[in-house]
Amino acid sequence: MFTPTDPGFAEEVAAFNLSTQHQPDVAFGALDAEDVATAVKWAAEQGMPVAVQSTGHGASNAIQGGLLISTRRMLELSIDPVERTARVGAGVRWKAVVDHAATFGLMGLCGSTTDVGVVGYTLGGGLPIMGRKYGFASDHVIAFELVTADGTQRRVSKDENPELFFLLRGGKGNLGIVTAIEFHLFPSEDIFAGGVYFDGQHAATVLDQFSRWVDTLPTEASASLAFLRLPDMDIIPEPLRGKFVVHLRYAYQGDAAVATQLLEPMRQCAPFMMDATGPLESTQFDSIHQDPDQPVPARERGFLLDRLDHQVKEAILRHFGPGVESPVLMAELRLLGGALAVSADGEDSVSGRDAAFSFFMAGMAVPPLAELLPQVYDAVQEDLREASSGSTFVNLHGHFVDAEDRDRAWAPRIRERLKRAKAEVDPNNMFSFGHVVGLPVIDQTVLLEDVVTTGGDAVPGN
């Protein structure tokens, strides 16, 4: 247990997203489910709100006050290679699962980086690299172990607490703290994947070709296109350093010859600077998107798109095309559809099933860029409003500005179900931080602004 003046407090509450500085009254590092249950019961006695963090990758809004339970020491991991299942504790990152599963020729459905936590990612649906082939990660959950607001430990599966099982798959941290999760694994063989980098001057051609190409892809193929303004830093390979590039990401499972043939129309559409596609081990998944592997101060916004038509392409080029000075480091179109469009057993709370693309923007939340980002995000969102369902995929929603914005992560019908379940298992709204339904937003935006505009030294409220 740490209070703000204790040594170790800052480390305990630190988030991967450096622009978010959590300021709980108390932090607690849990070792197991029993610890989580004890901490939750203690908070209930104090009438204290409770937040949970494993890696802080999803720390888009800061926590102010209350108890923050850190699960990062809950590193239980076991794999049953015969049943092709995994069981992981709440602090396990995807990298540990991917590496261990690979020794059995298996893989889990991780996303663009294996640095994120399995539990936080999966509770938000979990949009995987191989999503169009297998669907969302949450489609393949067997069971959750959950501590609810009264400190009770419950097993949640299709047969045990089925309403909670429905809602936890995509419902994020609304209903309690998940201490462990069990899920299916898949064969990791025959993956062809990687990225093709085009000079940004060809952005219009590449985007146009991408919009037609995606319609030809089978469900075995997943793809995204990112407009990247890469910093002039040593960590970026020389031909790309300091450049504006368009990055096609591609992943296919099956015959490598088919994978190559399918990719060809994109490779041919414009001269590329680098082609890093080829046969890939699942342990190399991080090389596809090349997401940052060190903590960064980021401010992000995402929403779902119904189409990629002429108007959408025009708007994207207007904001992110060649010659545009943009503070946005990455603007990404991720193709949905395929198995992502169908819920594994007909029902869950994942949004994005009926959308065509996820659109996601990220920028460095450092002065002076931090002040520009919200305006740019608002302008892009307004320009894409007609093609947007108005809803978001909760994992890629980014920083939310108010309760209405936060609510866009769930369709009204699901939101009502989440509220009803929350009234039952969390009647005093103990789990009131982050992406939760129907609660007022604590003044977290002010905190974030304070932090980013002063380079991270601000004390909230000063």
Ligand X SMILES: Cc1cc2nc3c(=O)[nH]c(=O)nc-3n(C[C@H](O)[C@H](O)[C@H](O)COP(=O)(O)OP(=O)(O)OC[C@H]3O[C@@H](n4cnc5c(N)ncnc54)[C@H](O)[C@@H]3O)c2cc1C
Residue by residue, DSSP assigns 45-58 as: HHT--EEEESSSTT
Measured CA angle at 277 (ends 271, 283), to 5 deg: 155
Pairing of strands 244-253, 50-53: unpaired
CB of 99 to ligand X, least distance (A): 17
Q: How far is CA 411 from CA 140, 217, 274, 392, 406, in A?
A: 21, 28, 40, 9, 12
Nearer to ligand X, 19 or 55 (CB): 55
Nearer to ligand X, 117 or 321 (CB): 117
CB of 94 to ligand X, least distance (A): 9
CB of 381 to ligand X, least distance (A): 19
Nearer to ligand X, 55 or 64 (CB): 55
Nearer to ligand X, 90 or 364 (CB): 90
In sequence order, the 6+-apart residues with CB closer than 8 A to the CB of 92 are 74, 75, 76, 77, 117, 118, 119
Nearer to ligand X, 326 or 444 (CB): 444
| Nearest CA-CA partner of 119 in 443, 422, 395 | 395
| Nearest CA-CA partner of 329 in 392, 396, 409, 242 | 242
Contact assessment for residue 394 and residue 124, using Cβ atoms and an 8 Å cutoff: yes
Give the chain's radius of gyration (CA, Å).
21
Q: How many CB atoms lie within 10 A of CB 393?
A: 27
Greatest C-alpha distance within the chain:
64
Pairing of strands 328-335, 272-275: unpaired
Distance in angstroms (rounded) separating the CA atoms of residues 44 and 149: 7
- Helix, strand or coil for residue 35? helix
Q: How many CB atoms lie within 10 A of CB 75?
A: 14
CB of 13 to ligand X, least distance (A): 11
Contact assessment for residue 217 and residue 262, using Cβ atoms and an 8 Å cutoff: yes
Nearer to ligand X, 228 or 269 (CB): 228
Nearer to ligand X, 91 or 321 (CB): 91
CB of 177 to ligand X, least distance (A): 4
Nearer to ligand X, 220 or 300 (CB): 300
Nearer to ligand X, 77 or 177 (CB): 177
CB of 64 to ligand X, least distance (A): 14
Contact assessment for residue 46 and residue 3, using Cβ atoms and an 8 Å cutoff: no
Nearer to ligand X, 35 or 199 (CB): 35
CB of 322 to ligand X, least distance (A): 25
Distance in angstroms (rounded) separating the CA atoms of residues 387 and 242: 32
CB of 371 to ligand X, least distance (A): 22
CB of 118 to ligand X, least distance (A): 8
CB of 112 to ligand X, least distance (A): 4
Contact assessment for residue 320 and residue 359, using Cβ atoms and an 8 Å cutoff: no
- Footprint of ligand X (CB under 6 A): 52-59, 71, 90, 111-113, 116-117, 119-121, 123-124, 126-127, 172-173, 177-178, 291, 395-396, 434-435
Contact assessment for residue 136 and residue 127, using Cβ atoms and an 8 Å cutoff: yes
CB of 44 to ligand X, least distance (A): 16
Query: In the Cβ-directed half-sphere of 315, how many Cα atoms lie within 13 Å?
Result: 23
Nearer to ligand X, 108 or 124 (CB): 124
Distance in angstroms (rounded) separating the CA atoms of residues 20 and 31: 24
